[in-house]
Amino acid sequence: MRKTTKRRAPRSEYTSPNQLSLSGFETPFYNQLAPSNRWVVLSKQIPWDDLVNMYSKRNPPKATGRPALNPRVLIG
């Protein structure tokens, strides 16, 4: 009997919020979120780069197995 494989969404790598962005390459939600939204304000107060670096030191990427989730998703 043939086993079917599930199609899963691709994993995104961590991108620092401090990275420069190019105009025209924003996500669909980029212009729809209000800067005064409580979740947007909170996300700007969290030191994401420091948290991701600490997480990555404790959990280095493995060569085999399923790719890891984006650390920002796990921490959030």
Q: Tens of pLDDT along 1-42? A: 667 666 665 566 777 777 777 777 766 766 677 889 898 898
Q: What is the arithmetic mean of pLDDT over 53-73?
A: 81
In a domain, 3, yes or no: no
In a domain, 60, yes or no: yes
Q: Is the pLDDT of residue 46 over 80?
A: yes
In a domain, 54, yes or no: yes
Closest to 71 (Cα-Cα) out of 53, 63, 62: 53
Cα 26 to chain centroid, rounded: 15
Q: How many CA atoms lie within 13 A of 15 on its CB side?
A: 5
pTM over 0.85, yes/no: no
In a domain, 57, yes or no: yes
Distance CA 15, CA 49 (A): 9
Residue 57 structure tokens: 């030191």
Q: Is the dihedral of CA 69, 72, 75, 76 positive or negative?
A: negative
Q: What is the arithmetic mean of pLDDT over 34-56?
A: 88
Full residue range of the structural domain in which residue 64 is found: 38-75
